[in-house]
Chains A and B, each alone.
Chain A
């Protein structure tokens, strides 16, 4: 019975993993959500699985697009942030630059 449960769990995780990859995903590994950062040279480490609909990503600071990124894994440096709370987002977009609905956003406090 335990073996059956383990098999079912493995299948479920496997299927969800496949589904996630198929839909695309964005991971921001640093800074952490809610982190305090400096006001200049903020390195944002990310990795992206575009999925079948995605093509590249757009980087946003406080809902304003600041960079088009074609590298799916790497680090983008935000030149400067005013002191205070900010939202950093990475959105997967398709070939026509339309967001496909897969994104990752974090909140940071610069100061």
Chain B
């Protein structure tokens, strides 16, 4: 088994689990009743935060494996660069909003919390869509 392929595969596992966490966590949270106690929502925020962290770390690891193997990063242009930039913005925004939620959401109205989850779900969908373009364009 090739070490590079194994590295890519294991990194892809983390990346995929991160994608599931950010999307599924936000989707599940939007199904909750926002007027009820916040414990479930806070648990889901932790899941989403972990997911964005995994996405960012594994994305960087993809580049690191390429650099370690060939001495250069993936050769991407045009649409793929835009897709990668969008993924990075979504990860940064999703992670930041998740942290903000943990710190401040206890004082937020139900509508505001719902809005935050909608935004987190939107970031996740945008990142997933961008990932497809990053994979097939370069």
Interface of A toward B, CB cutoff 8 Å? 52-53, 58, 64-65, 68, 91, 93-101
Contact = CB atoms under 8 A, between A and B. Distances in A.
Interface of B: 2, 4, 8, 62, 65-66, 69-70, 72-78, 80, 136-138
Contacts of B65: 96
Nearest to B77: A65
A98 B77 contact: no
A94 B74 CA distance: 9
A98 B8 contact: no
- Which residue of A58, A65, A93, A95 has the most chain B CB atoms within 10 A of its CB atom? A95
Given A53-B4, A65-B75, A96-B8, 11 more contacts: A58-B75, A64-B77, A65-B138, A91-B75, A93-B138, A94-B70, A95-B8, A97-B74, A98-B75, A99-B75, A100-B70
A95 B138 CA distance: 11
Contact of B74 (A52, A64, A96, A101): A96
A98 B70 contact: yes
B137 A68 contact: yes
B70 to A, nearest CB: 5
